[in-house]
Structure 1
Amino acid sequence: MASPTKREIAQILEDIGLLLELKGESPFKSQAYYNAARTIEGTTEDLVQLVATGRIRELKGIGQALADKLTELVRTGRLAYYEELKRTVPAGLVEMRAIAGMGPKKILAVWQLLGITTVGELEYACIENRLVGLPGFGSKTQDKIKQGILQFKKRKGFQLYATAIVEARALMAACRSASGIRQVDLVGDLRRRMEIADTIELVVATDRPDSVGQALAAHGLDDRFVEEGPVLRGRSALGLALVIHVARSLSPHLLLAKTGSAQHLTQLKARAEARRLTWNLEEDGGPLSPPAETEADLYRALDLPLIQPELREGLGEIEAAERGELAHLVTSQDIQGIFHNHTTASDGSATLEEMVEEACRLGYRYIGISDHSQSAFYAHGLKEDRIREQHAAIDALRKRVSGILILKGIEADILADGTMDYPDEVLATFDFVIASVHSRFNLPEEEQTSRVVRALAHPHVTMLGHPTGRLLLSREGYRIDMARVIRAAKEHGKILEINANPHRLDLDWRLCPSAKAQGVKVSINPDAHAVEGLQDVPFGVNVARKGGLSVTDVVNTLEPAEIAAALKQ
């Protein structure tokens, strides 16, 4: 095994110093490793020779214990002490060191006080304003950490859909404004509205390919591209791969070829071959065929209705289209109102009045207020006296505000044994109850599933919040049998949430067809912790569309006069 480089060895020593700090060891012990890291990185001598001759101890700050560890590292490429130490501390805590504003003391604070162990959890805590109240933090520090996380994710090469689409639209606008470019369209994963992306893919129609380079230069990306025939490849400002297909015109063949997943396109080609139909979507393979003016024409040539871009994954949508079972997909305009919204009563940053005012501005006809329950102490969850105060405030606001229905809700914790966070007489005072898991994520699958299924059987529970608990690019969902959960929702007439927060998008779109097949309704909720969060609903609609859901599958497409009765059912 090749000996690790000086930089790699120094990084391991830095990691050990941090791990020791997080474990509460003596600060002198941690500092010894930090100092040793700087010594190793700064030495001009060959470490292999220093170890072989025993002169490693001559380096400043390297005592016998450190010399033995360096010898093991140089000779074997591994260090047993380091490996054992890593097993005692969540790996994500070490990763946080790369985020501006997150030194060892702050990493230790978020771990000990909030139970945060990954960068994604840290980002979500910033969104929910949970860092502001920690000792030594405050709003400015939280904002600095949020910016640091953005840069950290940029270096990783993946972004949430909500982040990537902003960058893609900016690039499209830059291209459209350039002289000589007639048309620009989005294709690839982002056109299919995948929840995370590592690539922005565009198609550009122009007779002057150089105009694309000029547009990119105006966008500040002039030094980041290489040409591969009619394709430009490079990196966006966010660090995403950027692929631009340059063509004389944006034919439907090109749009289809660059939008569908590999599986979808393979299945379309096989269908064309079975019908002895010439199928060529690429210009370099001869004349485009079959003749078409729109993508709908291409599907029609295969005896299929148009399959919307979101569905083109090769996961049964072609068979469903053939059977005439493709739904008229739900749209953002179909959403009449929203649930799962937090205020300053728990961990939101906007007041009840501000949240209602913004919902009105966005055109919603009802809004459900659902602050955290009492077990969520980290989020200032509501005890019974504060519930009464909030209900009185909602009653008063209902008298002052017209044009929107304000519903009394709660996001109640599902306790470890599946019971709810309040007694029945308290739960009965709400218009709706969102039951959510916020603790004990590591329960075995059977226990976690039974916990959630028991909660769904509770007569006062209306819907299940963020059903799998995942945080995209950060935390996998907890181990849970979602097939059982969906069956329990059907049995007890409960609603499953599609949490529209871009970090969650949970229920996963891949589970939506199962819910739909069993008649289980979903509710697309923003999980808003600020007025800005109310604008996340379209991201949840993307999930519903990818899952093949129609208006009738989504409960919050109902009119205000219908919604109260639907929730009580």
Structure 2
Amino acid sequence: MIREEITAMFDSIADILQIKGEDPGKVKMYHNLAITISYALPDEIRSPFDYELLSNVRGIGPATLEKIAELVNTGKCQYYEDLKASIPAGVMELLSISGVGPSTAARLYQVLNIDSLEALQKAIDEQRLQGLKGMGKKTEEKIKLGLEALLRHKKLRLMGYVLPDALALVDCLASSLPACRNISIAGDLRRKTETIRDIQIVAVCPDASDIHAALRNTGLITNIHSDWTESGGSATLAGDVNMEFKLLDAKDFGAGMVYFTGSESHIKELNARANQAGLEPLSWPSPEWTKGRSEEEIYNSLELPYIIPELREGTGEISASVSGKLPKLIETADIRGDLHIHSTWSDGHQTIQAMAEAARNLGYEYIAFCDHSVSSKIANGLDIERILNKMIELREINEKVGGIEILMGAEVDILKNGDLDYPDEILEKLDVVIASIHSGFNMDEASMTKRIISAIENRFVHILGHPTGRLLAKRDPYLANMDAVIEAAAENKKVLEINSYPDRLDLKDTHIRKAKEKGVKMVINTDAHSISDLNLIKYGVYTA
């Protein structure tokens, strides 16, 4: 079990208690426990739970230890399960809406009896939210937009969280099914698209019942559906992710991997070339000319070089391949460092030294610690006195830890007027200044664009952090003219960040392409808050 699962449980307990209107002191206690645990526990906690991990941590008593041990050892905590059962499940779902916190959810539930997303939609349509004290038309509109975004993205899953489980499942099936060959991920997930609706698995397997039995034994599947035939079927992966299995004859595997991987636009372009060559279009079942051929051979038959899955989007890769201009994609092995790391100085979970040593073990040449600035109160942002003290500590650690250059940086908030929240005399002392927006998302496009460009024009800023502010499947990008932002970055020779965090992947691929065309430099960072987060760099690489 990972640490974040444990801290999420204690935060959820606090949220439910607040929604139920219980003692604010108790609510605060559970939130504080989540924070304490996030700093005290390692990234991964194994069963049986080792009480010594927290036995000497201030604020962690026997009752808390028992809750953690029960969760780690059994996968559940009965107190938490009982608490969840005490309110309608839909009430907790309200917290998934951008702009709705526990206090707002509590008022919606207690005063207006809103216990589901559907009930909230009805109340908004009837303008009943405006009747709540302190909640006018502007707040209602903000919640309405948040609800619309949530419903729009509700069935989407984030590639960065689904891919590890999908790969683990494929490994389990491959090792337990010697009669089945060439088990592989296809579809959106193979193309590494930022969000997916379902997982497609293509396999050469003579007997569907073998797949059934193996799926039950993986521990990763929560439901095997009743739609199975000899050609495949579906199942549900843990996390409520739908999976579609395509069982093929060996001679159809190459065609299946082409057809079930490419986007609709990509396949349409391939079929235009097939038509020109007098070949049947790619479809399913596969046409005769593809049988027995590998993916590479099928592309070659259309007078194309092999096109890697990540490029099969129908966005110009066919014409680029014809003219010999397919790009050489960056790989994780090309990464030399990470310029956006947080430490325990702000809201990170590990010290500067621990993070630096972990980065050195990854073979990195440099790493920059960009903890939050003073305005980010919720993230323990550093005031001027603390950032000066951090500079001293970082200098000492740089002398102690060899084999990697440790840079002093800050992730500085861009205020609503476009100013940064550190004075120039602090900014000029930093090796790396990342300017980011962490609040005030609901500005109109012109104002937000002006705000961002003002930060880009600041002579001390090096990087614009997570430039669009989106949280995938949860919060839409803030309104900004990204063409103008990219143009400003080009004119001022500033760097745009490709944030690797699975929830962000910001910049997105289309903006990356535009930035590259304008000659704007980009940097792939993790925004890591723990040692394990350093491994998220691959998702930024996939996006780039």
Partner of residue 214, structure 1: 213
| Distance apart, 1:213 and its partner CA | 1.5
Contact persistence 1:277–1:290 (CA under 8 A): no
Tell me the distance in 1 between the aligned counterparts of 2:214 and 2:235: 14
Matched, 1:447 2:447: yes
Q: Distance in 1 between matches of 2:110 and 2:260?
A: 53
Q: CA deviation at 1:467?
A: 0.3
The letter for the 1-side match of 2:159 is Y
Aligned pair count? 440
> For the residues of structure 2 that align with 1:263 and 1:346, how far apart are their CA atoms?
45
Is structure 2 residue 532 aligned with structure 1 residue 536? Answer: no
Tell me how far 1:385 sits from its aligned partner: 1.9
Classify the secondary structure of the residue corresponding to 2:204: strand
SS of 2:402's equivalent in the other structure is: coil
**1:87-119 deviations in whole A, cap 9, x for unaligned?**
765699899xxxxxxxxxxxxxxxxxxxxx889
How many Å apart are 1:277 and its aligned residue? 3.3
Q: Which moved more, 1:296-305 or 1:83-92?
A: 83-92
In the alignment, what sits opposite 1:172?
170
Q: Tell me the equivalent position of 2:266.
A: 264
Check whether the contact 1:470–1:476 (CA below 8 A) recurs between aligned residues: yes
Letter in 2 for 1:261: S
2:301 — aligned with what? 301
Corresponding residue SS for 2:228: strand
Q: Is the 8 A contact 2:255 2:286 kept in 1?
A: no
Distance 2:90 2:537 in 1: 45
Contact 1:278–1:290 (8 Å) recurs in 2: no
1:422-466 Cα offsets, whole Å, 9 max, x none, are 222211111111111112111110111111112111111111000
Offset at 1:533? 1.3
Give the TM-score of the pair, scaled to structure 2. Answer: 0.73
Distance 1:494 1:243, change over 3 A: same
Aligned to 1:142: none
1:279 Cα deviation (Å)? 4.2
What fraction of aligned residue pairs are identical, expressed as a percent? 34
Instruction: Tell me the distance in 2 between the aligned counterparts of 1:279 and 1:360.
Output: 51
1:199-278 to 2 correspondence within 5 Å? 199-219=198-218, 221=221, 223-228=224-229, 230-249=231-250, 251-278=253-280
Structure 2 distance, partners of 1:32, 1:516, is 52
Q: Distance in 1 between matches of 2:530 and 2:500?
A: 14
Give the drift of 1:196. Answer: 1.4
CA contact 1:157–1:239 (8 Å) conserved in 2: no
Q: CA RMSD in A?
A: 3.7
Structure 1 pair 362–369 and aligned structure 2 pair: CA distance change class (3 A): same
- Structure-1 residue corresponding to 2:118: none
Is the CA contact 1:167–1:238 (under 8 Å) kept in the aligned structure 2? no
Residue equivalent to 2:68: none
Measure how far apart 1:200 and its partner are.
1.1
Q: Quickly say closer, same or farther: Cα 1:87–1:209, change in 2 above 3 A.
A: farther
C-alpha distance in structure 1 between counterparts of 2:141 and 2:503, whole Å: 20
Please state if 1:341 is matched with 2:316.
Answer: no
- CA distance change for structure 1 residues 266 and 83 in 2, over 3 Å: closer, same or farther? farther
Which string of whole-angstrom CA distances, capped at 9 and with x for unpartnered residues, describes residues 312-339 of structure 1? 1111221222222221100001001001
Contact 1:369 1:410 survives alignment (8 Å): yes
CA–CA separation in structure 2 for the residues paired with 1:539 and 1:31? 41
Return the offset for 1:397. Answer: 1.1
Counterpart in the other structure of 1:161: 159
Residue 479 of structure 2 aligns with which residue? 479
What is the distance in 2 between the residues matched to 1:512 and 1:305? 24
Change (3 A) 1:264 1:540: same
Q: Normalised by the size of structure 1, how large is the TM-score?
A: 0.70
Structure 1 residue 543, shift from structure 2 partner: 0.5
Shift in alpha-carbon separation, 1:232–1:393, aligned structure 2, 3 A:
same
Determine if contact 1:453/1:485 at 8 Å carries over to the other structure: yes
Q: CA deviation at 1:247?
A: 1.3
**Which amino acid is 2:225 matched to?**
R
C-alpha distance in structure 2 between counterparts of 1:185 and 1:268, whole Å = 22
Q: What code does the residue aligned with 1:184 have?
A: I
CA distance in structure 2 between the partners assigned to 1:245 and 1:493 by the alignment: 49
Q: Which runs of 5+ in 1 are unaligned?
A: 1-9, 38-72, 96-116, 122-151, 545-569
Distance in 1 between residues matched to 2:539 and 2:306, nearest whole Å: 22
